[in-house]
Amino acid sequence: MTNNELPDPILGGVSRLPVLTPTAQRAELLRARCHAKLARRTPEKTSRLAPAAVAGFCVVYLTALVHDVLRFRGLL
């Protein structure tokens, strides 16, 4: 088998497809549309609930961990 032959016929067919390059006008139009869409986008509001929930979970977890260690040592 040579380097130009692919074992899979589908991959072989795909490798023979021509490479399409956009014209400068089409690329500029697409770039302008993307910039316009990004400019219209409103900034997302960040939620403070998720970090607070994570912090609360950590406090509960550490409290339970300290409780279990103290109980295991017989200090509670």
What whole-number percentage of the chain has pLDDT above 90? 50
Distance CA 33, CA 40 (A): 11
Task: Please say if the pLDDT value at position 1 is more than 70.
Answer: no
Residue closest to 8 by CA, chosen among 16, 36, 64, 46: 16
0.85 exceeded by pTM: no
Region 35-58: mean pLDDT is: 87
Domain ranges of the chain: 45-76
